[in-house]
Every structure is written in C-alpha cells, then in structure tokens.
Structure 1
Amino acid sequence: MAVFEKGIRLRHIGHLDIQRAMMRALRRSGLPVAYSNGYNPHILLTFASALSTGAAGKKEILDVTMAREVSPDDFLQQMNRALPPDLQLSFARALDDKHPAMMALVQAADYTLQIEDANAANKMIAAIPDFLQQTSILAMRRTKSGMKETDIRPLLVSLSGEGTAIHAVMALTETLACKPDMLLSALSTFCGQESAPDALIIRNGLLGRDENGELTPLENL
C-alpha cells in the first residue's frame, strides 16, 4: 500500500492517465512487480478510489502487488525517482496477504473546496448551519442512465467553512457517494445563487472505519 499526491498542477489529468503514469513508473523503477496471468499480463495495481478529473489529491492510495518482498523505503525511493514532481509518494507499508483491499475499506472522503468568488463563499459558508438543518437535501447525480435526483443529506458526515474554503467529509462507498460538485450545486441553490461558483477541489484523504467504528485515515487501517 502506498500514499501519493496528485498535485494541483495535475488536477485536470484524468484517472486513467494517472493509472498509466503509475504503471510506467513501476516498469522504470526496476521494482519486482507482480503481473496477472493469462495472454495479456498486466501489473497488479489498484487504486482505493478514483479521483475525479479537475480535483487534486493530497493522500491518494494505491495497492501494488510485489513478486517478492521489498522494503517500504526502497519502494518509495525507486518510485519517486521514476515519477514526476507533482505525482510523488509520501508513505508506503507492506500489507499481509490477508489484509482486505484498500478499495473495500473506503467509507468517506475529506475535501477542501476553495471557492474562487469571495462573495459567493461568504454566502455559502454563512448558510451552512441552516443548510444542515434540512432533513433532505436534493442534488442531481449523473448515472449510466442519465441524471438522477439524490438525497445527499445522509451522505454529509461534516460540513464547515472558513474564509473562502469549505471543508466537507462525505460518504464514499461503492453504492453511496456525494461528489463535491453535487454539494456545491445544492448549497448554491439553497443560497439562491443561479449557479455553483468555480472552486479548486482538493481531496485531503480517504477514510475508513477502525475497530471501534470511528472514521480514520485509510492509510492507518
């Protein structure tokens, strides 16, 4: 398991491009990566959660299977030499084969939404207490069959603001998820704004639940 940053300058790079960059780095690094079996073997690499195009990520998480044991320090050094400056690893640790896939442990995501329009930010932040008093908050969600109205209130773990930044912890599982654009749209509508303001979206980290059921950074599980 490794933690990496997708820097702000790479925020418009899509998930598939990030995946390809990681695979190229693994090949260049000389690390003993494991490959799948079959006619078209590929590196055994998975991400805990794909990061949306347009967002930066401070603590994104990936799983890489090694063909033989490698120390976390060696893994970090060799990978960071092969990766660009805005796509660097900050932490790695070896996991037991019985450890669940990190993807299966994700329960929520921690975001900072930096609003570019200060006036809009002030209105939105001031409205947060009343916004959260609602028993239902409807937002449009894009699905394979088109746009669908979704109640995001149960998906908001916490929501606060300071200056021009909104801090949100939102549910993120295989079946339940609230994306930043859904929150911004719903909060903007609640404030009477015609459209959601432009915002720099930063995912600070992914969260899972510890043995006591408390949300904790995924890399600690």
Structure 2
Amino acid sequence: MKVRIKFSKEGPVRFIGHLDIMRYFQKAIRRAGIDIAYSTGFSPHQIMSFASPLSVGHESCGEYFDVELNSITDTEDIKMRLNQTMAEGIQILQVAVLDETEGNAMASVAAADYLISFRDSVSLPDDWKEKLTAFYEKDKIPVIKKTKKGEREIDLKETIYQLEIREDQVYMLLDAGSGSNMKPGFVLETFCTAENISLPEYPFRVRRLETYKRTGEGRLVPLIP
C-alpha cells in the first residue's frame, strides 16, 4: 500500500542537500522498523518517491515523500516510530494512506508557497514594498530563464499565482509543476535587477510553507489534504 509522509526541515539541517535527505530517510525507515517494500531485481531498493526538492539553505514545514509498504499497523504509530529516530530539525508532521489511484508525490506537485525575508546585508529603498507590489501587478513580466536545455524567454507573471507583503516579509504562491517550476529567489532577483537593487551572496531567508496538488476541479490543495 502507498503511504504519504509530510515532514518539516528546519535549523542547521536546512544545509543538507536533497540526495542526502533521501539517504537519511532510507536509514531512518530501517531503524524505525517500518515494513517498507523493495524493488525486485539484482539491486533491490526501497520504493520511495520525494516531492519537489527543497533548495539547500531553505527551511520548510511542507515537505513530502511517498513509500510503498508491505504492511501497516496505524498511521499514528508510523509517525511516532519515525519521530523517535529523527535528527534535530526534522519532524514527521503527518502520515496518510493513499488511494491506489493517487499519483506519486513528485508527479502530483502543482504549486508551493513561501515566506521570504531579506537579510540585513541587503540595502533596500524605503519604498521597496510599493515597488514590489507594482512589479507584481504588471500584465506581463518577460524574463530569460536558464533551463537544462539552454535559455528561453518566459512570462514570469504566469508562474506567480499570488504575491503579497506581510509586514517585512514577502509571501508567494508559485507554480511548482515539473514544466515550469519557479523559485522564490528567482522572482525577487528579477525584481531587484529591474529596480537596480544590488544583492550580496545569499540575500534571502526562505521558508516553504506548503506543497500543493490540483484537484479534478482545478483547486490547489495540500499533498495531504
């Protein structure tokens, strides 16, 4: 049976990359005694699928991965046993059994939302909030985006579903689908370039709040509703 697990990643572990997080959970599942299924063949591996990878240095309270289990006692029991093996900064938040028709976590991702703040090293104009709001309210925001296949022009506005100022932070709901996955840092870098705001290295603090899929009616809902 398929099970989806939601977890948070905060503090120093935010500097651990995606591949190392995958290996960490493979070991944690073994330590917790979870009856996970393995692939067949000469090199069996745990059947596991992660949702959208989180950039190194970002925190999150909305990360997900799917596992295939041979047997299950209770979702709360799995949550408790995994949390007993977790390192500081990683916490299991939810465990849910999936319908067999549910797509895997990676293929299901449609959007993600973030809360971003500028580090103290960034020198912002007094009216940056008004300028950012005006930037978002443009009909189109043409920009060159680098991809694995080279560079192409996109309309950045189409990938920003929502943007608002929350005190001194910026909230964004962005397209996170496999075809047009948008990063919050890229949005703010584009804005700063347009406004001639110079940025030092690592100018933002980023926290992913949730990861979403689309329902049949087109609504965005968390990967575990």
Which residue of structure 2 lines up, in the alignment, with residue 116 of structure 1?
A: 119
Unaligned runs of 5+ in 2: none
Q: How does 1:55-204 map to 2 (within 5 A)?
A: 55-117=58-120, 120=124, 123-195=127-199, 198-204=203-209
| Mapped partners of 1:121, 1:89: distance in 2 | 40
SS of 2:107 mapped into structure 1: helix
Question: 1:121, 1:165 within 8 Å by CA — same for their partners in 2?
Answer: no
Question: Offset at 1:120?
Answer: 1.9
Provide TM-score, normalisation by structure 2: 0.89
| Mapped partners of 2:115, 2:125: distance in 1 | 13
Which residue of structure 1 lines up, in the alignment, with residue 211 of structure 2?
A: 206
| Mapped partners of 2:116, 2:151: distance in 1 | 23
| Mapped partners of 2:50, 2:36: distance in 1 | 16
Question: Offset at 1:207?
Answer: 1.3
SS of 2:73 mapped into structure 1: coil
Question: Offset at 1:93?
Answer: 0.9
| Mapped partners of 2:174, 2:125: distance in 1 | 19
Question: Offset at 1:216?
Answer: 1.8
Which residue of structure 2 lines up, in the alignment, with residue 50 of structure 1?
A: 53
Question: Offset at 1:148?
Answer: 4.5
Provide TM-score, normalisation by structure 1: 0.91
Describe the shift of the 1:91–1:121 C-alpha distance in structure 2 as closer, same or farther (beyond 3 A): farther
The share of aligned pairs that are identical, in percent, is 27
Describe the shift of the 1:153–1:212 C-alpha distance in structure 2 as closer, same or farther (beyond 3 A): same
| Mapped partners of 1:62, 1:201: distance in 2 | 21
Taking only aligned residues, the RMSD between alpha carbons, in angstroms, comes to 2.0
Count of residue pairs brought into register by the alignment: 220
| Mapped partners of 2:78, 2:106: distance in 1 | 21
Question: When you count helix as a share of all residues, which structure comes out higher?
Answer: 1
